[in-house]
Each structure stands twice: as C-alpha cells, then as structure tokens.
Amino acid sequence: MFIVAGFTFTSCSKNDDAYSLGDIWLSLGMVETENAFGYDYIIYCDNGDTLLPAANNVPYFKTIQQQRVLINYTILDEVGLSTKKFYVKINNLQEILFKDLIEVTPMNTDSLGNDSVSINDIWMVNNMLNIDFQYIGGVTLHYINLTYTTDENGNLTKPVELEFRHNANNDQSKIILNNIVTFQLDKLKIEGQNSTDFVVKANGLIQKEQSFNFSYQY
C-alpha cells in the first residue's frame, strides 16, 4: 500500500488554445493495453477523457490490462478535433488497489478485521466506488475490504449494507496514513432490477460510526 496525500482531481480544460508544459493534471483511470491507437497502453480517465502517452517519465512502471491507476500527467495536445482525447506526457503513475466486494462468512470474518479506518471521501464512478481513507500504521501490510452479507437463501438484503473493513495485522506504528481504494460494484446487481440502494458503514478513527448512502444504477 502507498501514501497519497494532498491531491486534487481535475478535468481537462477544453477552452485552452495551447497547453503549458508546466501544467500538471491528476486523474483516476483504467489502463487499456489492447487499443486501436498503436500505443503500448492508453488510459481511460474517470471523467471520460482518453490519454495517449506520447511521452513517459516512468518507463519502469509496468502497466497491465484493466489496471487501476492515479495518473500525474501534462497535456501536450488534443487528438485531432476531439475534446476528450489528449496526447500527454506521463509524469508519474501509481497503482490503486482495485477489488471486488467480498461476502462475509464464518471462515473469513476474523481475517477481515475490525480495526478503525476513517472515510475521508467516497464517490461513485460508473460501476465503481472510490474511497479515500485514513488509517494508523506504517510497518506491516494492512488489509482493506468492502464486505456484504446475504440472507439464509443467499440473497442480498435491501438496502444492501456494506462494511468497510480494516485488518491492521497488529501494526504497532502510530503514523496516520492516507490511501485510495476502488471497489467493483457488479456484485450488487439484482436480477430483475435496474438499481440497488446500499449504505457503506465504517468504524472511523474519531467518528466511530460513519455511514454513506448510495443508489447504484445499472
């Protein structure tokens, strides 16, 4: 896991006649290695922009298909007349933890942990849920999950209650850290419905009971 602090997500300005090499943009996106542009990879940003890496300052970063990344980039030019596709210089890439929801069972509930973790910000993008969170640690590897339960027939309850679970693995460090994780919401799809209401709950560091309500449209 890695630290992400002091970032601001931005979208590209469509009104600039030229782009400055001194401008920096930060976005979350998905890597696409299978593309028709002839690039080793392109990135689809959450805001709908497509980034074509014409220059790359981090050639050592190994990209893979459907990898979730935080992109630090500089816009070089628009692709043709498009206002949603850009040639860019990649300044930095950081992999974002990208996970499925996990069902709580008697076998895994202990390993999922109940250590405190605070949600700083939480937002949906398409079929994904992003969580900017804060926790205490710094020495050992921590586990982060978003869990759900089912009834005796294996069906989701309504509204679906999701728990943001944290296992600190007995980390004795007292450093406050920030991070981002993204969860796929596909497991919340219910046959015969086009939306699912759900609530995300967390045991915060200071505010012990955090709760956030959403409606997943599909």
Q: Is the pLDDT of residue 2 over 50?
A: no
Task: Report d(CA 36, CA 52) in Å as an integer.
Answer: 11
Strand partners, 180: 132
Residues of the chain with CATH 2.40.50.500: 25-95
Percent of the chain with pLDDT over 70: 92
pLDDT band with cut points at 50, 70 and 90 for residue 19: confident
Report which of 140, 137, 103 is spatially closest to residue 118, judged by C-alpha positions.
137
Strand partners, 145: 165
Q: Would you state the pLDDT for residue 5? A: 41
Q: Are 31 and 69 in contact (CB under 8 A)?
A: yes
Residues of the chain with CATH 2.60.40.2370: 97-217
Q: pLDDT tens digits, residue range 108-135?
A: 999 999 999 999 999 999 999 999 999 9
Angle (CA) 93-99-105 rounded to 5° is 155
pLDDT band with cut points at 50, 70 and 90 for residue 28: very high
Task: Report d(CA 99, CA 149) in Å as an integer.
Answer: 17
Q: pLDDT tens digits, residue range 142-178?
A: 999 999 999 988 899 888 999 999 999 999 999 999 9
CATH class in words for 97-217? mainly beta
Q: pLDDT tens digits, residue range 172-213?
A: 999 999 999 999 999 999 999 999 999 999 999 998 999 999
Q: Per-residue pLDDT averaged across 25-38, rounded?
A: 95
Q: pLDDT tens digits, residue range 69-114?
A: 999 999 999 999 888 999 999 999 999 999 999 999 999 999 999 9
Which class for 27: exposed (0-12), middle (13-18), buried (19 or more C-beta within 10 A)? buried
CATH class in words for 25-95? mainly beta
DSSP string, 69-100: EEEEEEEEEESTT-SSEEEEEEEEEEEPEEEE
CA distances (Å), 166 to each of 7, 13, 102, 105, 147, in order?
23, 38, 13, 16, 11
pLDDT band with cut points at 50, 70 and 90 for residue 4: very low
Q: Would you state the pLDDT for residue 21? A: 85
